[in-house]
Amino acid sequence: MDIVDDFLEQDFISLDKLDQDPESQQTDQDQVIPSNVPWSREESWSRLPLVTLHNEILDFCDLCFPSVKEQAMRDQVIEDITAAIHEVWPEAEVCVFGSELTKLALPTSDIDLTCLNFPEEPNKKHLHRVGEILKKKGLIDYLDVIDGAKVPIVKIRHKESQVHSDISFNQPGGMKTGNFVKNFMQKYPPIRPLLIVLKQFMHQRELNVTYTGGVGSFLLQLMVISFMQHHVRNAMKMGKPFQYNLGSLLLEFLELYGKTFNYVTTGISVRNSGSYFNKRNAGCVNVQRPGLICVENPEDPSADVGRNSFKILQIRRVFEHAFNRLSAVLCQKSASSSTILGTIIHPDEALIRRKIPDGAMFATNLYREQDGSEEDEWDEEEDDEDNVCEEDEQVGNFNAAGQWGQKKNFVQQRQNFMNSGRGYQGRNPAKKRQNRKFEQKASFKQKGNFQHKGHFKQNRFGSKNFGNKRGRW
């Protein structure tokens, strides 16, 4: 059985098979990859697999886009909560942030609200007062006051619409970060559809909650923004036009954070056109957990957004698994009409209940591609990408793999590395045997405890020499 079939037989949620009986496990390919998904449109299919995946991502965003009725219900929740708070605290200002502000809400997303200019009381009594007021008015049927957290919140569920909402107090940071992300989504149109797909991907695997070690919404947004910044910069350095396929971008994102990125040595910054930095030099290394992802908060550079995501190594394996799954399907897709995105996004009950609209509802500058058509383009301000800030010069060319030197395209770098015979040699058994035989012949101890394996070695006098076949210096 080849590598493609091996990946297709794996369950697309890595840990699901552990909870299943061997008799109930699905081994048939048509059962593992659903042929019909709620976001499917016939006109989106193409003979080119990446074009089909690009169109599927946009169709999935259309499916998740709130309908007029759903948006009206969410607006009503905000109005009811605002009116109830203003009756007691008329000077308070109720503001929306999070996915409701950035328009990245999934069908299961709650509404994040913050009350500014709110008079806080000792012992967090104001949280309980807000909850009691909403309860007495009959607006909610669920209430949970979390007053012991770093940011105390009131969690409620609107009785009429069954929409969940989190209320915080005097926390303007959420609005700043929301506007920050909105500006980047306007600058880089692919960010929004990629984020919607990746949020659903993380939600289905229960890896999207920060306090359980997952990747929260803001951290995921910064990871996608950083990915796009470096992707655009690399394209400009290679002289390529700004052509983007969402399927290709999704694959490259999964490959970057699932295979290439060095979480131990490398940190991420999205300020000043984006850069990578050395975690040790920046003092961001966690001794107990050196593999934690380090992402600088653009609003507060001294804060690390990824410090609580202790499941990041598990998340990296999930990204790698998803990359392998998609790659395997894309390699064998030619004339099939079954879904590609469905290999990593499960059509769960929340998605099945939804109905895809007749027309395109998802507002974006990216349009559906046709067979043989070029990928979408948009104008980019080259000055922003060409101007390297002072901080970038101090950081140097520190790449995602945690290495100093000239930044290269990750795909080309990996291909060159493997072609040289120094990479993953399992794909070339003959070269692997040849290298092992050479190492066995040349490996022995020299005076001064130098070991020669046919490479340059530095002697104790500081000069470099190269040993001959007999191992003499």
- 308-322, 337-351, 444-458: range with highest mean pLDDT: 308-322
User: What pLDDT digit, counting tens, does each position of 137-190 carry?
Assistant: 999 999 999 888 788 899 999 999 999 999 999 998 888 999 999 999 999 999
| 362, 193 contact by CB (below 8 A) | yes
Taking the C-alpha atoms of residue 453 and residue 221, their distance in angstroms, rounded to an integer, is 45
Q: Where in the chain is the domain with CATH 3.30.460.10?
A: 68-178
Query: What are the E-state strand segments in 26-73?
Result: none
pLDDT at 337: 52
Does 206 score more than 90 pLDDT? yes
Does 256 score more than 70 pLDDT? yes
CA 455 to chain centre: 39
Question: Residues near 191 by Cβ (< 8 Å), separated by ≥ 6?
Answer: 184, 185, 221, 224, 225, 228
Does 466 score more than 80 pLDDT? no
User: What pLDDT digit, counting tens, does each position of 10-49 carry?
Assistant: 433 333 333 344 334 333 333 345 667 889 888 888 888 8
Rounded to 5 degrees, φ, ψ at 244 are -130, 135
Question: Residues near 421 by Cβ (< 8 Å), separated by ≥ 6?
Answer: 428, 431, 435
Taking the C-alpha atoms of residue 326 and residue 219, their distance in angstroms, rounded to an integer, is 24
The mean per-residue pLDDT over the stretch 281-309 comes to 90
Beta strands at 164-169 and 111-116: parallel, antiparallel or unpaired? parallel
pLDDT at 253: 96
Between 154-168, 185-199, 387-401, the lowest mean confidence (pLDDT) is in 387-401
Which amino acid is present at 27? T
Taking the C-alpha atoms of residue 326 and residue 340, their distance in angstroms, rounded to an integer, is 7
- Total Cβ atoms within 10 A of residue 269: 23
pLDDT at 446: 38
Q: Where in the chain is the domain with CATH 1.10.1410.10?
A: 3-19+26-65+184-404
Taking the C-alpha atoms of residue 171 and residue 149, their distance in angstroms, rounded to an integer, is 14
Does 348 score more than 60 pLDDT? yes
| 41, 59 contact by CB (below 8 A) | yes
The mean per-residue pLDDT over the stretch 298-305 comes to 90
Residue with tokens 């059509």: 347
The mean per-residue pLDDT over the stretch 323-340 comes to 79
pLDDT confidence of 211, banded at 50, 70, 90?
Answer: confident
pLDDT at 366: 53
Q: What is the CA radius of gyration of the chain?
A: 26
Residue of higher predicted confidence among 316 and 4: 316
Taking the C-alpha atoms of residue 134 and residue 94, their distance in angstroms, rounded to an integer, is 14
pLDDT at 338: 75
User: What pLDDT digit, counting tens, does each position of 428-464 carry?
Assistant: 555 445 555 444 444 433 333 333 333 333 333 333 3
Residue of higher predicted confidence among 6 and 45: 45
pTM of the model: 0.72
Residue of higher predicted confidence among 326 and 32: 326
CA torsion sign for 89, 143, 97, 211 is positive
Which helix (H) or strand (E) covers residue 21, if one does? none
Between 35-44, 54-63, 282-291, 407-416, the lowest mean confidence (pLDDT) is in 407-416
- In a 13 Å sphere around the CA of 391, the CA atoms on its Cβ side amount to 13
Which architecture, in CATH terms, is 3-19+26-65+184-404?
Orthogonal Bundle (1.10)
- Say what percent of the chain tops pLDDT 90: 41
For 380, which DSSP code? -
The mean per-residue pLDDT over the stretch 57-70 comes to 90
What is the residue-averaged pLDDT of the chain?
75
Structure tokens at 253: 């994102």
For 174, which DSSP code? H
pLDDT at 228: 94
pLDDT at 434: 53
Taking the C-alpha atoms of residue 403 and residue 262, their distance in angstroms, rounded to an integer, is 9
pLDDT at 447: 36
- Supply the CATH classification number for the domain 68-178: 3.30.460.10
Query: CA of 46: how far to CAs of 52, 145, 241, 415, in Å?
Result: 5, 50, 23, 28
Pick the closest to residue 218 from 173, 252, 259 (CA basis).
173
Indicate the length of the chain as a whole number.
473
Pick the closest to residue 59 from 247, 335, 324, 318 (CA basis).
247
The mean per-residue pLDDT over the stretch 62-90 comes to 91
pLDDT at 333: 55
Beta partners for residue 295, in sequence order: 268
For 258, which DSSP code? I
The mean per-residue pLDDT over the stretch 396-415 comes to 51
pLDDT at 11: 37
Taking the C-alpha atoms of residue 368 and residue 361, their distance in angstroms, rounded to an integer, is 13
Does 390 score more than 90 pLDDT? no
pLDDT at 56: 92
Between 303-307, 322-326, 338-342, the lowest mean confidence (pLDDT) is in 338-342
Structure tokens at 114: 């913050």
pLDDT at 457: 37
| 96, 177 contact by CB (below 8 A) | no
Pick the closest to residue 339 from 197, 207, 208 (CA basis).
197
The mean per-residue pLDDT over the stretch 249-270 comes to 94
pLDDT at 331: 86
| 247, 54 contact by CB (below 8 A) | yes
| 399, 276 contact by CB (below 8 A) | yes
User: What pLDDT digit, counting tens, does each position of 357-380 carry?
Assistant: 877 665 444 555 554 444 444 444
Query: What are the E-state strand segments in 159-265?
Result: 164-169
Structure tokens at 280: 């040790």
Pick the closest to residue 114 from 170, 180, 178, 158 (CA basis).
170
Helices 49-64 and 312-332: crossing angle, nearest 10°? Answer: 130
